[in-house]
Chain A
Amino acid sequence: MIELDNVSYGYGDHTLFSQLSLVLAPGSFHFLTGPSGAGKTTLLRLCYADLRAATGQVRLFGQDAAELDRDGVAMTRRRIGVVHQDCQFLDHLSISENIALPLTVAGRGAEATGDLEELLHWVGLGAQAAQRPPELSGGERQRAALARAVIMSPEVIIADEPTGNVDWEMSQRLLTLLVELNRMGKTVLIATHDMMMIRSLKSDVNARVLRLKDGALMQAGAEL
């Protein structure tokens, strides 16, 4: 579904990682851990074609990401739901409009009504639908970001530190939602440095934990 084959990437003269390979099979659940600055966010951005690999090949749904034109990138992103740590909302729109944005840009805004209501209740934001993003708490914003990421029913969910700005209880609630999505057949990749969160979920989901450190990606082991 998403494959990175001997990929390297760097900023300026600094090589973040090289010869890195990763395969996200359909329906799989992956955690990506590692210290700050190791390149977790960069690796995620390569996975949704927000960056292009310096060398190596990134294949998204069987297509070489380097060969995708601008429209091709847009179409690919409709198959990948992304949750950012800082959510990235349009503050002039209501939460329901923000969640429906992927449908709107795909010209399927009319389909939003039924799905949206269901989705708002699924993430517990039914009462906040008309509010604007700045009026919501960190946890509510993260849940709204997750709702936006899944409204197009994407095949892959990529979340970058989704619990970074929320308390323990809220992070458990968010992760439960991600596990639910995985059980529905979605491929999930979560970048986090929160090992406690990973340990708490290990029994609920068959997750593979990867560690990115010193430019290399390896299977996490003893620290779990």
Chain B
Amino acid sequence: MKVFLDLIVGDPQADRAVPPTGMTAQLTVFVAGVMAFLAVLALALSLAAGRVADRWAEELAQASTLRLPASPDQADAQLRAAMNVLETTPGVAMARALTPAEQQALLEPWFGPDLPLDSLPIPQLVEIIADSDGYDQAGLAARLAAEVPGAVLDDHTRWRAPLVAAAGRLRLMGWVVIVAIGAGMAAMITLAAHAALAANEQVIRVLRLVGARDIYIARAFVRRFTLRAGGGAVAGAVLGVGAVLLLPRGDVAGGFLTGLGFAGAGWIGPLVIPPLAAIVAFFATRAAALRRLREQT
């Protein structure tokens, strides 16, 4: 911590020993800004994918749907029989028949708001929520087959498993992208630091002539690059958060996707990116400077 505080406070006289290098300074700020912007987007994607994966894995794992055959004359009898079976099944916490309005809302994205639900042979849907122990899926299916012929019990496994896996991969990919962005930034800053050191070879020679230690010379460059990377990353992160906030919210589109915005502890992510960028720049520049100084005998 003291190293970083010293770095921020700095030594104005030591800073002046190395002349300002306009091109590499602007390049470092720009690269750090772009990388932080991309990191914020990747982080938002990763967190959103994580939320989707968790929701599908945890919430939907408790839910099943029972679909009753669409026969208008027997609909009430079938629903009563099905509800009777469900209410007496151990492990079923709640069973609820969807109202016509809810069924209409489910079909609305595909058929529009003016769907005449009464005149169509739409099957009745029953939402089943299992308790923490769950129910015997095979046993329930057998009882329903006997009591309510034609009823189909869907525990969502068929479509949920690949979606959960895809969301999990998406989350992983987001983190891989963030790590790749960090590595890319370290590489770019290393190149910029090498360029700055090469451009200041004569300055380094003079500093050595008057008794400067390598760490003193390196520190002047490290401080400069760390502050530039941190500053650039702050600007990039602010723009990245702004861009994420401007994205349409996923829950408005039917709740199928979660929003890409940050929520709760997720806000720590974009706040951490600038200090992380500064830390990456600190170590990348320090390593580059000390190596370069060792080579410049």
- Partner of B211 from A92, A93, A152 at Cβ < 8 Å: A152
CB of B19 within 8 Å of the partner chain: yes
> How many interface residues does A have (CB within 8 Å)?
23
In the complex, which residues of chain B have a beta carbon less than 8 angstroms from the beta carbon of A134?
A: none
Q: Which of A43-84 contact B (CB under 8 A)?
A: 50, 70-71, 74-75, 77-78, 82, 84
User: Does B17 lie within 8 Å of A74, measured CB to CB?
Assistant: no
CB of B173 within 8 Å of the partner chain: no
Given A74-B213, A105-B216: A90 in contact with B208 (beta carbons within 8 A): no
Given A89-B206, A90-B203: A104 in contact with B211 (beta carbons within 8 A): no
Given A88-B205, A88-B206, A101-B206: A77 in contact with B16 (beta carbons within 8 A): no
Q: Which of B6-32 contact A (CB under 8 A)?
A: 11, 13-14, 16-17, 19-20
- Partner of A74 from B13, B14, B20, B211 at Cβ < 8 Å: B211
Distance of B147 from chain A, by nearest CB (Å): 87
Q: Is the interface of B mostly helix, strand, loop or mixed?
A: helix
Given A71-B214, A90-B203, A92-B19: A104 in contact with B208 (beta carbons within 8 A): no
User: Does A101 lie within 8 Å of B214, measured CB to CB?
Assistant: no
- Partner of B17 from A78, A82, A105, A106 at Cβ < 8 Å: A105
Distance of A185 from chain B, by nearest CB (Å): 20
Q: Quick one: which of B17, B207, B210 has the most chain A CB within 10 A?
A: B210
- A152 to B209, alpha carbons, bound, how many Å? 13
Distance of B18 from chain A, by nearest CB (Å): 9
Distance of A145 from chain B, by nearest CB (Å): 10
Distance of A106 from chain B, by nearest CB (Å): 6
- A84 to B210, alpha carbons, bound, how many Å? 12
The residue in chain B whose Cβ has the minimal distance to the Cβ of A52 is B297
User: Does A93 lie within 8 Å of B210, measured CB to CB?
Assistant: no
CB of B81 within 8 Å of the partner chain: no
CB of B198 within 8 Å of the partner chain: no
> Using a CB–CB distance below 8 Å, which chain A residues touch chain B?
50, 70-71, 74-75, 77-78, 82, 84, 88-90, 92-93, 97, 101-102, 104-106, 109, 148, 152
By Cβ-Cβ distance, the 5 closest A-B pairs, closest first, are A78-B211, A105-B212, A92-B19, A102-B210, A77-B211
> Using a CB–CB distance below 8 Å, which chain B residues touch chain A?
11, 13-14, 16-17, 19-20, 202-203, 205-214, 216, 294
15 extra A-B contacts, CB within 8 A, seeds A70-B294, A97-B13, A104-B14:
A50-B209, A70-B213, A74-B211, A75-B211, A88-B202, A88-B205, A90-B19, A90-B206, A92-B19, A92-B20, A104-B13, A105-B17, A105-B211, A105-B216, A148-B210
